[in-house]
C-alpha cells in the first residue's frame, strides 16, 4: 500500500484523485520541515516530557456525570439509550 | 458614552457604580455586533444576554452582592461549551451540535455575573493562523477588512479590536490567542499550562491547550485570567497557580540569540531594535542562549497533530451530529462522515498525526519530539536564571492579506514560530501591541516568563507599555 493510502486508512479519510495529488506535494514539504527533529542529535539520558505524573491523578472512584439522555442528545441516530450504527455482527 | 472604547475594568466599574446599566451596555454591544456582521467575527449573538443583563441590573438595584464581572459582556470562541447553546468549532461536522453541559471557564465567568453575549469565529478545530479555515467564511481584521485577523482565535481578536465586545475568550495551543491579538493590536495571553481548566473545551492538543482572555488592555487581561484560573476536579492537568507577586523594582529582559537570528534572517523590520534601545532606560537587557528553541516549531508540528489525531477520532459519524448518507457499513459511516465533515487543514493534520504515530516512525518523530520538548523546557529554565522575561516580536510582521497564505500550509505554520515555544515549554506568555508598521497595521511584542510567574510577566508588560509610551515610571 502506498504511504498516502495507508495514512488514509489509519485516518478513516478518503481523498479524491486531485485532492490526493495536492496533498502529496504539501505533505512532502511538511515532512521535510519536521524531519529536522528526526535528524537532530540529542544528549543521552534525556527523558520524554510529560505534563502530569500519575501522582497528579485523583483516586479511581466513580463520580456523577451528565445523564445518559443528555450525553446522547447530539447523536445522529440513537435507540434505547444507545448509539445506533449499521449492523456490526452478522 | 461609547462603550466600545472602554476596557473591561472601566465597564465593570461603571455598572457597579450605577453610572450605566448592564442592559444598556449589552444592547450597545449587540448593536455593534449586528452592524459589523460583515467582519464575520461573531458568528452567533446570544440575544437572551439582554434578559440576563436585566437580572444583574436588578441585583445591583437591590444592593445585593455582585460578582467581579457583573454585567460585563464576554464572547466565547466557538470551541467552548455553554449548556443549551450551539457550539460548532467552525466545522461543518458540528453545525447542529448543542452543548449538553457548560465548560468550567464559562461557569466561572457566570459565577462572577459576566454576560455571555455570543460565540466567535475561529479556524476549524483551532487549526490555523488566519481564521480562514472556517465553515462560517473567513474572519476579517476589524482594523482593515482586507487583512486576516490571525488565528485560530481570529474572531475573538477582531471582535475586541472592532469594539464588538470588551473581552472575548480564546484558546491557545501554539499561539492561537497571541498571534491574532498581535495582528489585531490588542492584548493576548497564554498562561502556565494547567492554570485554566480545559473541561468543556473541544480538545485539539490536550497537553498544549490553554484558554484565556483577549482584551484591549493589560490590566483587564490579568483581571479576567484570574477569574478563569483554578484547580478543577474535571481536569486532572489543572494546577493551583497562586499568581505569586515576585515583583521587582527593575527587571532584566533576555533577548534570545537564536530567535533574533531567525527574525533578522526573515524580516527587515527595525521596530524591534529601536524599541530595545528605548527599553534600556528602564530595564537591564541581556542576551540569552536557548540553543534548541528554534526546533520548537517542528516539534510542535509533530506533537500537536499526534494529539489532534487521537482527539479527533471521536468525530466518527456516530456520536456527534453529522452522519453521511448512503453508507453501507460502520467503516463507511466513519470514512464518509469524516471525509465530508472535516475541512482541508484538519484532514492534513490528522494525516500528519497518524504518520508520526505510525509503526516505524513513532520513535523517530513522536518520541524524539517529546525529548526535544524536555530539552527546550530545561534550556528555558536555565535562561530564566539570567533574566525575568524573554522579549521577542510575537510574529514576523503585521497581518497579511486574506488568501495570501491559504494555499501554502508551511508559510502559515511559520506564523507560529515565536509563539509555539511557550506552549512547548508550558510557560506563560503575553503579547502586547507596541508599534505601527508602514502599512498602518499593529505589531505585537511578546514576553515569556518562567512557569507560574504571570504576575511578574504582567508587571513587565505594564512597565514596557509605559516605557514605549514615554510615560513616567
Q: pLDDT of A3-45, one tens digit each?
A: 899 999 999 999 998 989 988 888 899 999 999 999 999 988 8
- The domains of chain B are located at 3-228, 251-293+369-431+448-469, 297-364
Percent of chain B past pLDDT 90, that is, above it, reads 96
Query: Any idea what DSSP says for residue B39?
Result: G
Q: What is the pLDDT of residues A48-66, one digit of tens each?
A: 777 677 777 778 889 888 9
Question: Which of A11, A31, A33 is the closest to B350 by Cβ?
Answer: A11
By CB neighbour count within 10 A (0-12 exposed, 13-18 middle, 19+ buried), where does A10 fall?
middle
Q: Are A76 and B328 a contacting pair at CB < 8 A? A: no
Backbone angles phi, psi at B255, to 5 degrees: -105, 120
| Closest CA relative to residue B122, chosen from B148, B142, B143 | B148
How much of chain B is in helix, strand and coil states, percent to nearest 5?
40, 15, 40
All 3 cell numbers of residue B204?
Answer: 485539539
Give, in degrees to the nearest 5, the angle at Cα B7 between B4 and B9. 140
By CB neighbour count within 10 A (0-12 exposed, 13-18 middle, 19+ buried), where does B287 fall?
exposed
pLDDT-based confidence at residue B456 (cuts at 50, 70, 90): very high
Q: How far apart are CA B49 and CA B435, in angstroms?
A: 36
Answer whether CATH 3.40.50.970 is correct for domain B3-228. no
For residues B89-94, average pLDDT? 98
Q: Which residues of B407-445 are buried (b: 16+ CB within 10 A; e: fewer)?
A: eebeebbbbbbbbbbbbbbbbbbbbbbbbeeeeebbbbb
**C-alpha count within 13 angstroms, C-beta hemisphere, residue B184:** 40
Residues 28-87 of A with CB under 8 A from B: 29-31, 33-38, 40, 42-43, 46-52, 56-58, 66, 70-71, 73-77, 83, 85-87
- The domains of chain A are located at 3-38
Percent of chain B past pLDDT 70, that is, above it, reads 99
Q: Which residues of B371-397 are buried (b: 16+ CB within 10 A; e: fewer)?
A: bbbbbbbbbbeebbeebbbbbbbbbbb
Q: Are A37 and B302 a contacting pair at CB < 8 A? A: yes
* Chain B: residue whose CA lies nearest to A4: B351
In this prediction, residue A51 carries a pLDDT of 66
* Chain B: residue whose CA lies nearest to A29: B410
pTM of the full structure: 0.97
Q: Is A5 on the interface with B (CB under 8 A)?
A: no
Q: Are A38 and B368 a contacting pair at CB < 8 A? A: yes
pLDDT-based confidence at residue B227 (cuts at 50, 70, 90): very high
DSSP secondary structure string for all residues of B406-455:
TT-HHHHHHTTTTTHHHHHHT--EEEEEEEE-TTS-EEEEEEEE-TT-HH
Between chain A and chain B, the number of residue pairs with CB atoms below 8 A apart is 150
Judge contact between B7 and B215, C-beta under 8 A.
Answer: yes
Give yes or no for residue B445 having a pLDDT over 60.
yes
All 3 cell numbers of residue B399?
Answer: 497581518
In this prediction, residue A1 carries a pLDDT of 46
Judge contact between B76 and B82, C-beta under 8 A.
Answer: yes
Taking phi over 0 as left and psi of -120 to 50 as alpha, with beta for the rest, A48 belongs to beta
Judge contact between B256 and B427, C-beta under 8 A.
Answer: no
Q: What is the pLDDT of residues B147-202, one digit of tens each?
A: 999 999 999 999 999 999 999 999 999 999 999 999 999 999 999 999 999 999 99
Give yes or no for residue B470 having a pLDDT over 80.
no
Q: Is B92 on the interface with A (CB under 8 A)?
A: no
Q: Are A46 and B319 a contacting pair at CB < 8 A? A: no
Q: Are A37 and B299 a contacting pair at CB < 8 A? A: yes
Q: What is the pLDDT of residues B9-67, one digit of tens each?
A: 999 999 999 999 999 999 999 999 999 999 999 999 999 999 999 999 999 999 999 99
Q: What is the pLDDT of residues B274-299, one digit of tens each?
A: 999 999 989 999 999 999 999 999 99
* Chain A: residue whose CA lies nearest to B330: A86
In this prediction, residue B355 carries a pLDDT of 95
Mean pLDDT, all residues of chain B: 96
* CA torsion through residues A67, A72, A74, A79, sign: negative
CB-CB neighbors (< 8 A) of B421 in chain A: none
Q: What is the pLDDT of residues B353-408, one digit of tens each?
A: 999 999 999 999 999 999 999 999 999 999 999 999 999 999 999 999 999 999 88
ipTM score: 0.93
Q: How far apart are CA B385 and CA B392, in angstroms?
A: 18
CB-CB neighbors (< 8 A) of B96 in chain A: 74
Give yes or no for residue B469 having a pLDDT over 90.
no
Judge contact between B194 and B237, C-beta under 8 A.
Answer: yes
Amino acid at each position: 500500500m502506498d504511504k498516502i493510502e495507508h495514512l488514509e486508512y489509519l485516518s478513516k479519510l478518503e481523498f479524491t484523485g486531485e485532492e490526493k495529488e495536492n496533498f502529496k506535494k504539501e505533505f512532502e514539504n511538511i515532512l521535510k520541515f519536521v524531519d529536522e527533529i528526526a535528524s537532530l542529535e540529542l544528549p543521552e539520558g534525556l527523558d520524554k516530557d510529560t505534563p502530569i505524573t500519575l501522582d497528579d491523578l485523583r483516586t479511581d472512584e466513580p463520580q456523577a456525570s451528565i445523564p445518559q439522555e443528555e450525553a446522547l442528545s447530539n447523536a445522529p441516530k440513537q435507540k434505547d439509550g444507545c448509539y445506533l450504527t449499521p449492523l456490526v455482527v452478522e | 458614552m461609547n462603550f466600545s472604547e472602554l476596557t473591561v475594568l472601566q465597564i465593570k466599574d461603571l455598572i457597579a457604580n450605577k453610572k450605566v446599566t448592564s442592559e444598556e451596555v449589552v444592547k450597545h454591544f449587540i448593536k455593534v455586533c449586528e452592524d459589523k456582521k460583515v467582519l464575520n467575527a461573531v458568528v452567533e449573538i446570544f440575544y437572551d444576554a439582554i434578559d440576563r443583563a436585566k437580572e444583574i441590573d436588578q441585583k445591583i438595584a437591590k444592593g445585593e452582592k455582585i460578582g467581579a464581572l457583573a454585567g460585563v459582556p464576554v464572547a466565547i470562541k466557538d470551541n467552548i461549551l455553554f449548556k443549551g447553546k450551539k457550539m460548532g468549532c467552525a466545522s461543518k461536522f458540528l453545525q447542529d451540535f448543542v452543548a449538553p453541559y457548560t465548560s468550567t471557564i464559562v461557569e466561572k465567568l457566570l459565577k462572577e455575573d459576566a454576560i455571555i453575549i455570543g460565540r466567535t469565529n475561529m479556524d476549524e478545530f483551532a487549526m490555523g493562523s488566519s481564521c480562514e479555515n472556517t465553515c462560517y467564511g473567513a474572519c476579517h481584521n476589524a482594523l482593515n477588512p482586507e487583512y486576516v485577523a490571525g488565528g485560530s482565535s481570529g474572531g475573538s481578536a477582531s471582535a475586541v479590536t472592532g469594539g464588538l465586545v470588551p473581552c472575548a475568550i480564546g484558546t491557545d495551543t501554539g499561539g492561537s490567542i497571541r498571534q491574532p491579538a498581535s495582528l489585531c493590536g490588542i492584548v493576548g495571553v497564554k498562561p502556565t499550562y494547567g492554570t485554566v481548566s480545559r473541561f468543556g473545551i473541544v480538545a485539539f492538543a490536550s497537553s498544549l491547550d490553554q484558554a484565556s482572555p483577549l482584551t484591549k488592555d493589560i490590566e483587564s487581561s490579568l483581571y479576567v485570567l484570574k477569574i478563569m484560573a483554578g484547580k478543577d476536579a474535571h481536569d486532572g492537568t489543572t494546577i493551583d497557580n497562586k499568581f505569586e507577586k515576585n515583583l521587582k523594582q527593575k527587571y532584566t529582559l533576555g533577548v534570545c540569540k537564536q530567535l533574533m537570528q531567525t527574525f533578522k534572517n526573515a524580516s527587515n523590520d527595525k521596530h524591534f531594535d529601536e524599541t530595545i534601545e528605548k527599553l534600556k532606560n528602564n530595564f537591564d537587557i541581556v542576551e540569552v542562549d536557548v540553543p534548541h528553541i528554534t526546533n520548537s516549531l517542528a516539534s510542535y508540528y509533530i506533537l500537536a497533530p499526534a494529539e489532534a489525531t487521537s482527539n479527533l477520532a471521536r468525530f466518527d459519524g456516530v456520536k456527534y451530529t453529522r452522519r453521511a448518507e448512503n453508507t453501507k457499513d460502520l467503516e463507511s459511516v466513519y470514512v464518509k462522515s469524516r471525509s465530508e465533515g472535516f475541512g482541508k487543514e484538519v484532514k492534513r493534520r490528522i494525516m500528519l498525526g497518524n504518520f508520526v504515530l505510525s509503526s516505524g516512525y513513532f520513535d523517530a518523530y513522536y518520541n524524539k519530539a517529546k525529548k526535544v520538548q524536555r530539552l527546550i523546557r530545561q534550556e528555558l529554565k536555565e535562561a530564566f536564571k539570567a533574566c525575568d522575561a524573554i522579549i521577542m516580536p510575537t510574529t514576523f510582521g503585521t497581518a497579511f492579506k486574506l488568501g495570501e497564505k491559504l494555499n501554502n500550509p508551511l508559510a502559515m505554520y511559520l506564523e507560529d514560530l515565536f509563539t509555539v515555544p511557550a506552549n512547548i515549554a508550558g510557560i506563560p506568555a503575553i503579547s502586547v501591541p507596541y508599534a505601527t508598521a508602514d502599512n498602518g497595521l499593529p505589531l505585537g511584542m511578546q514576553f515569556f516568563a518562567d512557569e507560574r510567574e504571570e504576575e511578574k510577566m504582567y508587571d513587565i508588560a505594564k512597565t514596557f507599555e509605559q516605557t514605549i509610551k514615554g510615560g513616567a515610571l
